[in-house]
Amino acid sequence: MNTENAVRTAVGFFVVILVWALLSALAGGAFGALVATVSPEFVSSLFSQKAEAGIVRYAFAVGMIWGVFIGAAVSGFACFLAAIIKIWLSILL
């Protein structure tokens, strides 16, 4: 495996992790806003935020934070496995 190919693979994995983390952040934010819209009492009991007017925005922000954490972790693990498989196949072949 030459250096140029390794750099291209690493950059590609980074882009995949970045894109899926951002998409996961949007999905987490939308889910948080949906839950806060349906049941604002439930969301306000989970957080220390007690302002009823901004609870949907607060839930959206917290959902985005958790979404980016989970999305980056899952994408990073998937790319790690792909890299291990690629290295293993290059050794065998």
* pLDDT number for residue 42: 85
Q: Which tokens belong to 92?
A: 């065998």
Contact present, 17 and 75 (Cβ < 8 Å): yes
Instruction: Walk along the chain (93 residues) and give the pLDDT tens digit of each residue.
Output: 566 777 788 788 888 888 888 999 999 999 999 998 998 888 888 877 566 668 888 889 999 999 999 988 888 898 888 888 888 888 887
Q: Which tokens belong to 15?
A: 């882009």
CA distance 42 to 29: 16
* pLDDT number for residue 87: 84
Reference 40, options 27, 26, 59, 67; nearest CA is 59
10 Å CB burial of residue 59 (0-12, 13-18, 19+) is buried
**Domain edges within the chain:** 3-92
